């Protein structure tokens, strides 16, 4: 693995892979498999809590910011299904209907990249961002859990630039959080689950309108159609 991880971060990565793989192997009922990954998300909290004090103190992220929620959100299939499950168990019918409409509009806009070579990410908010806060906070994807910044001004500059112009990474924290995220993803992939990267808004729309997605994932098939796949270059996914 070429990771740029420190030795500690690499240990955390391999420990996460091993622990999640072991739990997936022991799970006999396919309906319980997603819960194994949801449970593994607690590893983010442990990784944060055990990060150096100075690294934790450098976090500039505050409730109600949401600047990083205006970037493209690339996720794994299991993260989409966990987000959809959270929505279905916590949202009112009216909020669910409004979210499906937002996600449908997002999906249509995102699909435009397949036919327009000049397409650029419009920097619109994530469909799950409501009044500056994540509406599925406890069920949010790994990348949202792993990301911390040392500078709000840096995040705003980077969003406007469309790339990381200012280094907002927090040494001693980013690597630990990414070790957990990549460890979970690697364990799921090694167990044969869908390894494609998906656009969160597009795949969430599919998950909320098609109950077959979760069944396909459990069967270790691609959970979502090709138009939901993440493709940073704007080319049609293979």
Positions that interact with ligand SF4 (CB under 6 A): 69, 73, 126, 128-129, 134, 136, 140-141, 144
Query: In three state form, how does the secondary structure of 148-212 look?
Result: CCCCHHHHHHHHHHCCCCCCCCCCCCHHHHHHHHHHHHHHHHHCCCCCCEEEHHHHHHHHHHCCH
The residue (of 113 and 145) whose beta carbon lies closer to ligand SF4 is 145
In terms of Cα–Cα distance, which of 175, 130, 129 is closest to 148?
Answer: 175
Q: Is 50 helix (H, G, I), strand (E, B) or coil?
A: coil
Q: Which is nearer to ligand SF4, 203 or 213 (CB)?
A: 203
Shortest gap between Cβ of 130 and ligand SF4 (angstroms)?
A: 8
**Cβ closest to ligand SF4, residue 23 vs residue 107:** 107
Q: How far is the CB of 115 from ligand SF4 (least distance, A)?
A: 26
Query: Which residues have C-beta within 8 Å of that of residue 48, sequence separation ≥ 6?
Result: 56, 173, 176, 177
Give me the least distance between CB of 14 and ligand SF4, in Å please: 26
Q: Of 134 and 188, which has the nearer Cβ to ligand SF4?
A: 134
> Closest separation between CB of residue 182 and ligand SF4, Å?
17
13 in Cβ contact with 183 (< 8 Å): yes
Rg (the chain; Cα; Å): 18
- Beta bridge partners of residue 133, listed in sequence order: 130
Nearer to ligand SF4, 102 or 229 (CB): 102
Shortest Cβ 28–ligand SF4 spacing (Å): 31
Rounded Cα–Cα distance for residues 28 and 36 (Å): 11
């Amino acid at each position: 693995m070429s990771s740029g991880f420190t030795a500690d971060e690499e240990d955390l990565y391999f420990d996460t892979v091993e622990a999640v793989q072991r739990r997936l192997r022991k799970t006999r009922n396919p309906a319980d498999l997603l819960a194994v990954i949801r449970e593994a998300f607690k590893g983010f909290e442990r990784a944060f809590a055990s990060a150096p004090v100075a690294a934790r103190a450098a976090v500039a992220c505050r409730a109600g910011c949401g600047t990083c929620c205006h970037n493209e959100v690339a996720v794994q299939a299991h993260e989409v299904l966990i987000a959809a499950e959270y929505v279905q168990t916590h949202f009112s019918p009216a909020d669910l209907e409004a979210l499906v409409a937002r996600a449908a509009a997002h999906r249509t806009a995102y699909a435009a990249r397949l036919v327009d070579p000049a397409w650029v990410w419009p920097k619109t908010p994530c469909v799950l961002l409501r009044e500056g806060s994540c509406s599925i906070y406890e069920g949010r994807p790994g990348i949202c859990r792993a990301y911390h910044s040392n500078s709000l001004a840096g995040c705003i500059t980077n969003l406007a630039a469309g790339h990381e112009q200012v280094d907002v990474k927090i040494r001693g924290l980013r690597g630990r959080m990414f070790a957990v995220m990549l460890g979970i993803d690697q364990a799921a992939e090694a167990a044969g689950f869908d390894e494609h990267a998906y656009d969160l808004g597009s795949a969430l729309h599919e998950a909320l309108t098609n109950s077959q997605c979760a069944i396909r994932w459990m069967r270790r098939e691609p959970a979502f159609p090709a138009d939901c796949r993440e493709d940073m270059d704007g080319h049609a996914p293979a």
